[in-house]
Chain A
Amino acid sequence: MSLMDSLAAGFALVGNVEAFFMLFCGLVIGVIGGAIPGLSATMAVALTLPFTFSMAPINGILLLLGVYKGGIFGGSIPAILIKTPGTPASSATILDGYPMAERGEAGRALGMALYASCTADAVSNLALILFAGWLASFALNFGPPEFFALILFSLTIIAGVSGESLLRGALSALAGLLLATIGLDLVYGTNRFTFGDPNMMGGLNFIAVLIGLFAIPEIIAMAWNPVAHLGKTRALGKSKVTLADYIGSFKSILRGSMIGVFLGSIPGIGAAPSAFLSYSEARRTSKNKDNFGKGEIEGVAASEAGNNGVAGATLIPLLALGVPGDVITAIIIGAFMVHGLQPGPMMFILNVDIIYGLFIGLIVSSVFLLIVGSVAIRGFRFVADVPKRLLMPAVLVLCIYGVFAVNNNIFDVGVMFAMGWVGYLMMRHRIPAAPFLIAFILGPLLEDNFRQSMLMSGSDPSILMRGPITWFFWTLTFITVFAITRSTLRKRVPLS
Chain B
Amino acid sequence: MKLRTFGSVFALGLGLTAGAAMAEYPERPINMIIPYGAGGATDISARTIAEPLGNAVGEALVMANVTGAGGATGSVAVQNAKADGYTMLFARVGSHSVNPAMKATLPYTLDDFRFVTVYEINPVACAVRPDAGIDSMEDLIAKVNEGGVSYSSSGVGSLLHLAGAMVLKEFGVEDPLTQATHIPQKGGGAAATAVLNGTATFLCTNSSALASFVSNNQLKPLMVTTAEPVVGFDVPTANDLGKPALNQLVGWTGIAGPDGLPDDVAEKWGTWMAAATEDATFRETMEARGSVIELMDPEAANAFIQGQYEVFRALVDDLGMRIEG
Binding site for B on A (CB under 8 A): 45-46, 49-50, 53, 140-144, 183-191, 198-199, 201-203, 205, 267-268, 317, 321-324, 327, 330-335, 337-338, 340, 342-347, 407-409, 448, 452, 455-456, 458
With contacts A46-B39, A267-B193 taken as known, whether A345 is within 8 angstroms of B218 at the C-beta atoms is: yes
Give the 9 A-B CB pairs with smallest separation, nearest first: A202-B68, A189-B156, A334-B39, A190-B325, A342-B212, A344-B216, A46-B38, A201-B69, A331-B39
Choose from B44, B187, B218 the contact partner of A338 (Cβ within 8 Å). Answer: B44
B271 interface hit (Cβ, 8 Å): no
Tell whether, in the assembled complex, residue B189 and residue A323 are in contact, meaning their CB atoms are under 8 Å apart: yes
- Chain A contacts of B323 at CB under 8 A? 188-190
Report if A189-B157 is in contact (Cβ < 8 Å); known contacts: A49-B38, A202-B68, A409-B73: yes
A-B contact pairs, 5 of them (CB 8 A): A49-B38, A184-B69, A186-B156, A334-B40, A408-B66
Q: Which of B73, B185, B212 contacts A198, CB < 8 Å? A: B73
Q: Tell me the complex Cα distance, A122–B30, Å.
A: 44
B103 near A268 with CB under 8 A, answer no
Assess whether A189 is in contact with B197, with CB atoms less than 8 Å apart: no
Main secondary structure of the interface of B (DSSP, over half): mixed
CA distance in complex: A185, B70 (Å): 12
Determine which of B64, B156, B189 lies in contact with A187 in the assembled complex, contact meaning CB atoms within 8 Å.
Answer: B156
* A-B pairs under 8 A by CB, number: 162
Nearest Cβ on chain B to A64's Cβ, whole angstroms: 10
- How far is it, in angstroms, between the C-alpha of A322 and the C-alpha of B195 when the chains are bound? 13
Contact residue among A189, A203, A334, A344 (Cβ-Cβ distance under 8 Å from B212):
A344
Chain A residues, Cβ within 8 Å of B44 = 334, 337-338
Chain B residues lying within 8 Å of A337, measured Cβ to Cβ, are 44, 208, 212, 289
Return the contact of B196 from the options A140, A331, A340 (Cβ within 8 A).
A140
Interface centre among A330, A335, A347 (most CB of B within 10 A): A330
Asked if B227 is at the interface of the complex by the 8 Å CB criterion, the answer is no
CB < 8 Å neighbour of B199 from A46, A144, A346: A144
Whether the pair B73, A201 counts as a contact (CB closer than 8 A) is: yes
Nearest residue (CB) in B for A143 is: B199
Q: Within 8 Å CB of A345, what residues of B?
A: 216-218
A187 to B212, CA, bound (A): 28
Give the distance to chain B from A133, nearest Cβ to Cβ, in Å.
13
- With A202-B72, A331-B39, A456-B199 known as contacts, the answer to whether A46 contacts B65 (CB < 8 A) is yes
Which of B185, B198, B216 is most buried by chain A, counting CB atoms within 10 A of its CB?
B216
Q: Is the CB of B39 within 8 A of A323?
A: no
Question: With A140-B196, A142-B197, A322-B218 as given contacts, are A330 and B37 in contact (CB-CB < 8 Å)?
Answer: yes
From the candidates B63, B155, B217, B325, name the one contacting A191 in the complex (CB within 8 A).
Answer: B325
Q: Is B261 an interface residue (CB 8 A)?
A: no
A347 to B218, CA, bound (A): 12
Given A268-B190, A342-B212, A455-B183, 11 other A-B residues pairs in contact with their CB atoms under 8 A: A46-B37, A189-B103, A190-B105, A198-B72, A199-B73, A202-B69, A337-B208, A338-B285, A407-B65, A408-B33, A409-B77
**Is B109 part of the contact surface with A, judged by Cβ < 8 Å?**
no
Contact B212 A322 (CB under 8 A): yes
CA distance A327 to B67 in the complex (A): 13
Partner of B189 from A202, A203, A324, A455 at Cβ < 8 Å: A324
A-facing mask of B289-325, CB < 8 A → 1, else 0? Answer: 1000000000000000000000000000000000111
Interface string of B204-226 (1 = CB under 8 A from A): 00001001110111100000000
Contact among A183, A323, A409 for B66, CB-based, below 8 A: A409
Q: Smallest CB–CB gap between B305 and chain A, Å? A: 21
Residue B130, interface by CB 8 Å = no
Please, which residues of chain A bring their CB within 8 A of the CB of B69? 183-184, 198, 201-202
Taking the complex as formed, is B248 at the interface, i.e. its CB lies under 8 A from any CB of chain A? no
**Interface check B181, CB cutoff 8 A:** yes
Q: Does B82 contact A (CB under 8 A)?
A: no
CA distance A50 to B63 in the complex (A): 10
A321 contacts across to B, CB distance below 8 A = 193, 196, 218
Contact B196 A323 (CB under 8 A): yes
Chain B residues whose C-beta falls within 8 Å of the C-beta of A189 in the assembled complex: 102-103, 155-157, 184, 323, 325
* Smallest Cβ-Cβ distance to B192: which chain A residue: A323
CB distance from B41 to the nearest CB of A (A): 9
Taken together as a complex, chains A and B put the C-alpha atoms of A338 and B107 apart, in Å, by 33
- Chain A residue at minimum C-beta to C-beta distance from B99: A189
A392 shortest CB reach to chain B, Å: 25
Given A49-B39, A188-B323, A198-B72, CB of A322 within 8 Å of CB of B199:
no
- Digit string of B274-297 for contact with A (CB within 8 Å is 1, else 0)? 000000000001001100000000
